[in-house]
Amino acid sequence: MDKSTEQKQRIMESLVSTKWAIDPSHSEIGFKVIHMMISSVKGHFKSFEATVEATEDDFSDAKVKVSIDADSIYTNNEDRDNHLKSDDFLNAEKYPKITFESTSFDGKKLVGDLTIRDITKQVELKVEHNGTAVDGYGQTKAGFEIRGEINRKDFDLKWDQVTEAGNVVVSDMVKLIIDAEFTKEEE
């Protein structure tokens, strides 16, 4: 494809592309990790932004960008939250943002680059599009359930401790539980 054809194609894509912004009051970016090999601890981030850009109504060509404030981590325990913000885990002071940018999406599987502590790894997430609807204010909304799993040590979240009984305090695997509602931006 020559340069002018490529430019025309980009222009056409931008003209028909629909932009969506996350509705933080109807969305949650959460996680779950096994504690002491006997129970799960859940948490989420209170502050985040995300956008989706797509030309297809089924979002099968969606481009997704997410930015999360690491300091907004919340697990319903202030001491644990402060530990997770420390250098043992996120080091929220030095690395204030966790980011994700998609590289491909087929309508069910979202692949992209996740960056935590300035370490970027490719992750694969399962996506279920729950549908699109118009709310009482005339805004078009789209809802998604997104699930995945990462190894925290891949991102230098290396803190480890073993109990006297030999159980690991925090598992390496972290389940990602994301429920997202996006609002179509006005053209």
The reply to whether 1 falls in a domain is no
One digit per residue, the tens of pLDDT, for the chain of length 187 reads 566 666 655 555 555 789 999 999 999 999 999 876 778 999 999 999 999 999 998 899 999 999 999 999 999 999 999 999 999 999 999 999 999 999 999 989 999 999 999 999 999 999 999 999 999 999 999 999 999 999 999 999 887 765 555 555 688 899 999 999 999 998 6
For residue 88, what is the domain's CATH number? Answer: 2.40.128.110
pTM of the predicted protein model = 0.87
Would you say 112 and 64 are in contact if contact means Cβ atoms under 8 Å apart? yes
Instruction: Assign residue 19 a region (left: φ > 0; alpha: ψ between -120 and 50; beta: otherwise).
Output: beta
Residue pLDDT, tens place only, 41-57? 999 999 999 999 999 98
Provide the token pair at 60.
Answer: 């099968």
Could you give the number of structural domains in the chain? 1
The reply to whether 114 falls in a domain is yes
Task: Tell me how far apart the alpha carbons of residues 106 and 115 are, in angstroms, rounded to a whole number.
Answer: 22
The reply to whether 5 falls in a domain is no
Query: Pairing relation of β-strands 119-134 and 109-116?
Result: antiparallel
By residue range, what is the domain housing residue 117? 19-184
Residue at token pair 């891949």:
154
Q: What is the model's pLDDT at position 85? A: 97
The reply to whether 173 falls in a domain is yes
C-alpha dihedral sign at 124, 130, 134, 137:
negative
